[in-house]
Amino acid sequence: MAKGIPELYGSLVFNDKVMRDKLPKDIYKALRKTIENGTHLELDVANSVAVAMKEWAVENGATHFTHWFQPMTGFTAEKHDSFISPVGDGQIIMDFSGKELVKGEPDASSFPSGGLRATFEARGYTAWDPTSPAFIKDGTLYIPTAFCSYSGEALDKKTPLLRSMETLSREATKILHLLGQKDVTGVSTTIGPEQEYFLIDKELYEQRKDLIFTGRTLLGAMPPKGQEMEDHYFGALKPRVAAYMHDLDVELWKLGIPAKTKHNEVAPAQHELAPIFDTANIAVDHNQLTMEIMKKVADKHGMVCLLHEKPFDGINGSGKHNNWSMITNTGVNLLDPGRTPAENIQFLIFLMAVIKAVDEYADLMRLSVATPGNDHRLGANEAPPAVVSIFLGDELTAVLDSIENDTFFGKQQRIQMETGATVLPHFFKDNTDRNRTSPFAFTGNKFEFRMLGSSLSVAGPNIVLNTAVAEALSQFYDELKDTPADKMGEAVHELVKRAILKHKKIIFNGNGYTDEWIAEAERRGLYNLKSTPEALPCFIAPKNIKLFTEHKIYTESEIYSRYEILLENYCKTLHIEARTMQDMIRRDFLPALMEYTDEVACSISDKKAVADLPCKAETKLVIKLGGYYDAIYEAEEKLEADTKTAEGIADMLEAATYYHETILADMAALRSTADAAEEYIPDDILPYPNYEALLFSL
């Protein structure tokens, strides 16, 4: 690395500094105005920006450009065009126009649209999102864009995210003006997504059809050692992993992605990366890029990065923590309680809005993280439960209690940390401890939504959060708007009091992993949507359609289309898993089991031929292996037959429910017998690497 990190950082990004250097002053100003205030961009400005962008890109080795968008597949999409433009007599120039910058026309017919777009209207449009900077990757200039249909319906995850950010900004600004903060002209949402992942050896990966086709292991007995010693979390990095993490940081930094923290996670072979937070849509783009680059860098190091939520049974899966807050254009974090939260009415209003939002739209929050992969985590003893609740911590809970009961909130003493060793530095404890079991926890000056699966685009959960909080703020505004300024403190106090009484059922500071909490949550009337098929129908519940359509985040047809896409994705994923498992059992596992049984049986007849030995142990083993063979064969037949039944179910919700209830149960039954048999099969006969090799070989 010749360059220092500060020079390297963002060197492949068309960032503010490059814009200022490359653009004429008036053009730069116009572009900044669009980025900061969301004003419309004129074509002459776009033309000028395009010229500068192309010059910069070509200087940095780019030959192509692409509109980069986030269709409903959950991945990003791109179509590369070169800058070359013929000028006659076999010559070319490198050319790029404002029109090419602002608008693209990819064929939309092969992206999921949930019936939104008839194939005769295959045209789709991508539109430049100037609020997320363009960048260069692998010799191509990437232009972040939104993707919609010919008739303007969103076909992607970015368009509704941008809509929700605008809505939240508008509603938050209205409240702030009411509270006298007239200098605020906009509020952004900020996200810091912590990303978990697994690294395994590529050669081993390539021998497992389940990992290749489904991203997770469908079979595999636990090795003698799993994660029970808890020796991996924050453990020293192994050399191969350390080298990977270093390269990953460098690649991310070049793209202006502020990767900050890296460490080993709880499970063997599991790790985490956290960036410094950014504005929501930039953070979403960066998280998509991070996932992609994690995979790419792993490949260079002879490894595979697994982003599936549950690659291995019996050890922790991977999630993504969505740290979220709101910040004014004047730089104030609206969820910062300050030193005296009880007197900070601005903080109390925004805090209460989040509590109200999460309570009223807990079903949508749950829905926003519902994927087949994440179903294996939520509710298992590692991730938050499927019940959405809020952890506030002792101090804020006491503040709200005092408001609810009209009692005086005495300022809490900050407690000095006592380590018992005088050489250690003295510092104050934080006033919220970390409750790791809560799905939605207040962590000092932000909320951390912990239910996201590791492979999920963070757009969806933030669309829900932004919209629900905007709705709460808009209701608060209506309650407060006629209050004279000198009565505002009192009015906010009363409003917060009413709201706590109504919404305190969502607050829970205890251990979210216990059965007692699940029972208590049911008494409180909270949702417990255990699986994706249970969660999805709430998307089309009248109250939720009302929320999204009133705030113009989704039209009703956009909602239905997304609902359909999610259902279809669920069914397809399980269908692939079921078929992969059948293939592995029939063509790999059973033949191996047969081979070993034959080997033992031959040994018996050999021994009997030589000398009439009793072969008691071998006989027992053959009987055992034969028993497994029969049981696995039968379980596989059932899975096969039920998969056929599933294929025949026309109604999508019915099919999804069947996959969840029947196919998953079949797969679990088949797996448990196969895993039991695996413990008897020698490594050299097992047709693919086992858990021990996968988890402990790096």
| Residues 128 and 102: beta-carbon distance below 8 Å | yes
**x/- map, 328-367, ligand ADP, by CB under 6 A:** -----x----------------------------------
Region near ligand ADP per CB under 6 A, out of 164-172, 321-329, 498-506, 535-543: 321-329
Pairing assessment for the beta strands 390-391 and 440-442 based on DSSP bridges? parallel
Minimum separation from the CB atom of position 640 to ligand ADP (A):
44
Q: Tell me: does residue 274 bind ligand ADP (CB under 6 A).
A: yes
Amino acid, res. 308: H
Region near Mg ion per CB under 5 A, out of 128-136, 194-202, 255-263, 374-382: 194-202
Minimum separation from the CB atom of position 321 to Mg ion (A):
4
3-state secondary structure 481-548: CCCCHHHHHHHHHHHHHHHHHHHHHHECCCCCCCHHHHHHHHHCCCCCCCCHHHHHHHHHCHHHHHHH
3-state secondary structure 173-238: HHHHHHCCCCCCCCEEEEEEEEEEEEEEEHHHHCCCHHHHHHCCCCCCCCCCCCCCCCCCCCCCCC
Q: Tell me: does residue 325 bind ligand ADP (CB under 6 A).
A: yes
| Residues 26 and 62: beta-carbon distance below 8 Å | no
Give the integer Cα–Cα distance in Å for 335 and 332: 9
The interface partner of residue 275, options being ligand ADP, Mg ion, none and the CB cut-off 5 to 8 Å by kind, is ligand ADP
Choice between 73 and 333, CB closer to ligand ADP:
333
Amino acid, res. 23: L
Minimum separation from the CB atom of position 352 to ligand ADP (A):
18
Choice between 53 and 273, CB closer to Mg ion:
273
Minimum separation from the CB atom of position 351 to ligand ADP (A):
14
Q: Tell me: does residue 70 bind ligand ADP (CB under 6 A).
A: no
Choice between 258 and 687, CB closer to ligand ADP:
258
Minimum separation from the CB atom of position 278 to ligand ADP (A):
8
Minimum separation from the CB atom of position 272 to ligand ADP (A):
7
- How many angstroms from the chain centroid is the CA of residue 422? 43
Among residues 686, 685, 639, 681, the alpha carbon closest in space to that of 662 is found at 639
The interface partner of residue 323, options being ligand ADP, Mg ion, none and the CB cut-off 5 to 8 Å by kind, is ligand ADP
> Count of residues binding Mg ion (CB under 5 A)?
2
Give the integer Cα–Cα distance in Å for 435 and 420: 25
Choice between 450 and 562, CB closer to ligand ADP:
450
Minimum separation from the CB atom of position 277 to ligand ADP (A):
3
Give the integer Cα–Cα distance in Å for 329 and 373: 38
Q: Tell me: does residue 445 bind ligand ADP (CB under 6 A).
A: yes
The tokens describing 108, both together, are 């939309």
Choice between 9 and 277, CB closer to ligand ADP:
277
Task: Provide the sign of the torsion angle of the four alpha carbons 99, 101, 103, 107, taken in this order.
Answer: positive
Give the integer Cα–Cα distance in Å for 559 and 655: 20
CA-CA-CA-CA dihedral for 375, 376, 377, 382, to nearest 10: 150
Which residues between 496 and 515 bind ligand ADP (CB under 6 A)?
none
Among residues 331, 329, 333, 437, the alpha carbon closest in space to that of 383 is found at 437
Which residues between 251 and 270 bind ligand ADP (CB under 6 A)?
261
Instruction: Please state, as a whole number, how many other Cβ atoms lie within 10 Å of the Cβ of residue 375.
Output: 25
Minimum separation from the CB atom of position 261 to Mg ion (A):
9
The tokens describing 538, both together, are 């709430």
How many DSSP H helices and E strands does the chain contain? 24, 17
Minimum separation from the CB atom of position 74 to ligand ADP (A):
21
Q: Tell me: does residue 276 bind ligand ADP (CB under 6 A).
A: yes
Choice between 64 and 377, CB closer to ligand ADP:
377
**x/- map, 312-331, Mg ion, by CB under 5 A:** ---------x----------
Region near ligand ADP per CB under 6 A, out of 316-324, 338-346, 509-517, 673-681: 316-324
Q: Is 268 helix (H, G, I), strand (E, B) or coil?
A: coil
Single out the residue of 191, 255, 495, 664 in contact with ligand ADP (rule: CB under 6 A): 191
Region near Mg ion per CB under 5 A, out of 23-31, 75-83, 127-135, 190-198: 190-198
Bridge partners of 149? 124
Minimum separation from the CB atom of position 320 to ligand ADP (A):
11
Choice between 234 and 696, CB closer to ligand ADP:
234
Amino acid, res. 11: S
| Residues 101 and 46: beta-carbon distance below 8 Å | yes
The total number of residues written for the chain in this structure? 698
Q: Give residue for tokens 């009565």.
A: 487
Region near ligand ADP per CB under 6 A, out of 318-326, 503-511, 545-553, 613-621: 318-326
Minimum separation from the CB atom of position 36 to ligand ADP (A):
19
Residue nearest to ligand ADP (CB): 192
- Residue 542 gets the label, from left (phi > 0), alpha (psi -120 to 50) or beta, of alpha
Choice between 286 and 671, CB closer to Mg ion:
286
Task: Show Cβ contacts of residue 551 under 8 Å, excluding neighbours closer than 6 positions.
Answer: 163, 164, 167, 467, 470, 471
Region near ligand ADP per CB under 6 A, out of 54-62, 186-194, 395-403, 519-527: 186-194
Single out the residue of 194, 251, 285, 382 in contact with ligand ADP (rule: CB under 6 A): 194
Pairing assessment for the beta strands 440-442 and 303-306 based on DSSP bridges? unpaired
Footprint on this chain of Mg ion (rule: CB under 5 A): 194, 321
Footprint on this chain of ligand ADP (rule: CB under 6 A): 190-192, 194, 261, 274-277, 321, 323-325, 333, 445-446
